[in-house]
Amino acid sequence: MHKPLVSLLILALLLSGIACSNNPPSDPKDAVIKLFGAMERNDQGAIAHLLDIPALMGNRDEDYALQTATPRVFRNPVDILEDLTGDGLTKKRWFAMQRVIGAAEVLGDSAKVEVSFIDKSTNTQYYNKFGLHRVNGRWKIYAFKTLSPAGQ
């Protein structure tokens, strides 16, 4: 009589664990960490799921690839996904540096996550705050904002 109850309890725990693993990250910092993992795997589907691509395409004032004087204009979502994977300029530059993910600041349904890129050859730190907001209960990155190159 106890075996079916124990089996049912174990099944319920397993199912709840699976359900929890499929939930969107509750911490915006997790979304940033997942972005870098997806970039490393060249997983454009996962990247698209983590980004607010229309918002990124609307940014025409700054280039998030670092070390570029003139902002690039992305004409479609594929351009952004290709830039963040494979031989894309942003992926190459970000992955050539040490990446440090710092504190997250959450204000309701928006957040900022500190991300620094450190170029050890020039001893330059590019300090950023990625902008995120909740879209359908999921944190999405809508901006890669370079605040300043520190140490210059």
Residue 21 has pLDDT above 70, yes or no: no
Q: What is the pLDDT of residues 80-102, one digit of tens each?
A: 999 999 999 999 999 999 999 99
Topology of domain 25-150, CATH: Nuclear Transport Factor 2; Chain: A, (3.10.450)
Distance of CA 110 to the CA centre of its chain: 14
Whole-model pTM: value is 0.75
If you average pLDDT over every residue of the chain, what do you get?
80
Q: At 99, give phi and psi (nearest 5°).
A: -110, 130
